[in-house]
Structure 1
Amino acid sequence: QLLYFHMGLRVFLALSLPCPVVLVCSHDDAMEGEALVVKCPRDRPNRTITWYHTQTNLPIPAEEGERIFSSGRFLWFLPTAKEDSGTYTCFVCDFSKCTMPSTVSVMVYPYKRGICFPSRIRYPNDTGTLTSGKIVCPTIDNYENATIVKWYKDCKPLQGPSEKYLMREKYLFIKCPPKTDEGYYTCYFTYMHGGNVYNVSATRRFIVEETVSSPILAQIQYPTDNSVIQVELGSPVNISCKAFLGIGKQNIAVVTWNVNETKAEALNSLRFQVDCQFFRESDRRYYGESILNIEKVKEEDLLSNFSCTALNEMGFVMHKVMLQLKAGHHHNTYLIIGILVLLVIIALLVILHHFFQINIVLLCREIFKPYKTQNDGKIYDACVIYPKNRTNEANFVEYFVHQILPDVLENKHGYKLCIHGRDMLPGEGTLLDAANAFEMRILKSRRLIIILTPQLIECEEFAYEHQIALYNALIQNDIKVILLEMETIGDYKGLQESLRHIIKQQGTIKWKEKHTQSPYASNSTFWKHVRYHMPVRHKSSQFSYAV
């Protein structure tokens, strides 16, 4: 009972005395609706700290869940409200006595349109801030796992990273700050507690003072700015960055690598490793060296931005580096690409030749017509032989030979045909004379067109003429054979062996049922194949030559 009476008396006396006389005081300002964490000015290990609202003398609850609660040395406002403005007292006690209380003055300012951060919400400069170009985000150490979102100067957001500003953790570094960099700098960060995210802003004034002597700005000795490193794809590479940081050991000394404006150490990639060391030479000159190890160079690295940053109390300097393939590697790459392109072109040409060979050849014949004829002694472009019908019944094969074939090849495309039975001269009536005359016509022809039908197997007259034609085609090799299969014959077993040999070598051109609907259509598949095997014609039907 005496102990509690003693503590209560101390509280009464402390709360009744003015702050400047007996209390250790601190001042914290905040914006309405933000998180605020204040710290008791006094801190003794293994002591109990109790918080009171000075105006009401009521203790601040120590349980989380309340908007205002305390825990040890810290007092939370999650979030702040205008009525939170006032003073708060913290007592540091053990079982025997309490130290003199400390008070914290809290002022909450409401947001006003057109005013981002009131100049009254500011914190004093840190030691060394006036000329070093380093600004520390105020009170951020009171917030566990806080993340800085943006920095402001006189309510205008700073764009970074850039050649002027470097933002690193809780610090803002200004490179060689002139007087124009003076002003109010605000760090705007987020704080997570109990699953909720809160915003916090803190402002500090930055002043640049003229000094007679000042530390030396960091200087990168190598690599030079915008230098190019020759590399090979798939190979490792080490890039070293050495910087002079000042005379004697430096309070702030950083030499690091960035990849696309991200610290190489922070990249989630095992390909990038950074080794850093600091050393002092005999003249007390202090250096730092950082080596970026790339395990395996990829194509994406050739498009990435690599930069080395050296930092000391005066500010930072940055040099950029580019990766470029070695000249020989370029040559090999272009050679491989050229070979691949050539193979693709060849493959396309093979495909086009396979599927469109006939159309391409016929088109070229139409475009590039010859102007000279070959003096080969030939009279006819093609000699036509076929099995004759021994009856007087209408026969499509004879109609095809005497009507359709001459109309398409002779009338439309200017070829000259020798058709057995149509072009026989008087006096060739005997079998021997007819055979000799027909043999002469075969020898005077550039092509031999043989009509294949089932009747071919049983036609004795045709068999003799056929033997002569095949002899000239196969033995003397003077005539190219065109086989037109007008009716399905089957497996060709009934045909002569020499004819089966030709069919095996070059196949036949088949007349199908669909061709009967438009037998004179020279652009049909059937007639295109026939024209493809015929000799090349001069644009005037008077001349021709063989190919």
Structure 2
Amino acid sequence: MGLLHLILLSTFLSASMTSESFHAMEDEALVVKCPQDCQNRTVRWYHTQSNQLIPAEEGGRIHSSGRFLWFLPTSKEDSGNYTCVTCYYNYKKQYTVSVMVYPHKQGICFPSQIRYPNDTGTLTSGRIVCPTIDNYENATIVKWYKDCKALQGPREKYLMGEKYLFIKHPQKTDEGYYTCHFTYTHNANVYNVSATRPFIIKVCPSPIPPRIQYPTDNAVIKVECGSPVDISCRALLGIGKQNIAVVTWEVNEIKAEDLDTSRFREDRQFFMGRDWEYYGESILNIEEVKEEDFLSNFTCVALNEIEHVKLTVTLQLKVPCKGDNHSTYTTIGILVLLVIIALLLILYQFFQTDIVLLCRGIFKPYKTQDDGKIYDAYVIYPKNRTNEANFVEYFVHQILPDVLENKHGYKLCIFGRDMLPGEDEANAFEMRIQKSRRLIIILTPQLIQYEEFGCEHQIALYSALIQNNIKVILLEMETIGNYEGLQESLRHIIKQQGTIKWKEKHQECSHASNSKFWKLVRYHMPLRHKPSQLNHAV
């Protein structure tokens, strides 16, 4: 029984085999390594087909020494399988390696089979390492080739090291197959070796502020009434393909996708320019120009992950539309009407807040349709990291609910008050923001250093700026200055709509809902929604 066990163990130890392939050009040196680390072991090389031992003495064209097998130089007849056998006491293991030698052919400097894997290049790193050179001692690079042609160019463009080629500021035109030709000295004999690998530039996306190339801001496009017209807008959005890239049209602040599809159609495309510049283009097609289009503002919006920019163009009539009445009385009537409208607009501008709140109080224009929302506003504020009481916490949890909820019937969602114990914060933020009609953000100098504000903040601003499905109300509780310390997205919203500032005098009558501060807050709040019959029944 013990003898049988030894026989089975010996058989197992000698049965393991692996395989590896080597490729080379004819008449060049080739050094093959046994895949196994054979240190302190006996290694023998054989021709696999004939099982003929390859001599270990140097001097022959093909000879072995320990882990290495030399072909000095290679010949077409060397193609085939070779076996290296390692022995260590009773442990025996053999490996099969495949050698393929390719002859030189006119017009082909390297067969595709012997190209080495890509040595990744970038816009900031253009280093190409010579393949296999570490396998040859006393090797010296003689020359580099690109696509089978000797490398040429300004001296400052290329830097050649002992084992690599460095391309300064690589461009798209530098891509191709690079061959390093080096010499290998063995026993005073010099042999040639060549190795080829592709060089491909991989560009990391680099966002820059978007730049609209055309049209120019406030440009006037002349068209004919009743005829079709295409308005094109192109913008540079960054270097390399961008994660967030939008170029679109708005007509009187209405997105093109929400316009009448029988008259408006928008076509968008994105493409890569030279030097990996990433562009977006939007073409607004108007099937039939109408008189109302000459009073409209056509706004191009370009957006990436840094910011968004806008410009506006207008249409101008080439030929009067049919049916236009150019009589003197009509012209005078239009001018008088415009003057009246201008005066009304000026009055409305000064008393807009009071007029709107007065109309709401008289007509009580409740919305009854079900918009899927639960809260009138979601409140975001910098959380207090200590147990010390502060005015912001008191304002959010006492004053704000008392005025908006108790006195005016709004429903707010406030962190800490309306969150369930153990609820996942990220999911809770996103769900409640989506269920809110407004987003109230409390601004204080503490917000600039408030790192934990990120998750709730990002979800909210994504909904406001990208999805554009919620309006923002900014309450500046303390003077912040020039806002430079705030995030870019917040600065953009402040630039667009400003903030509602809390003054010290408001603290004396902080609950007075008829003060200027609370009038502005109520003006920006949505119309109150009547609960649906189902909710009322529940």
Scaled by the length of structure 2, what TM-score is found? 0.37
Max Rg structure: 1
Scaled by the length of structure 1, what TM-score is found? 0.36
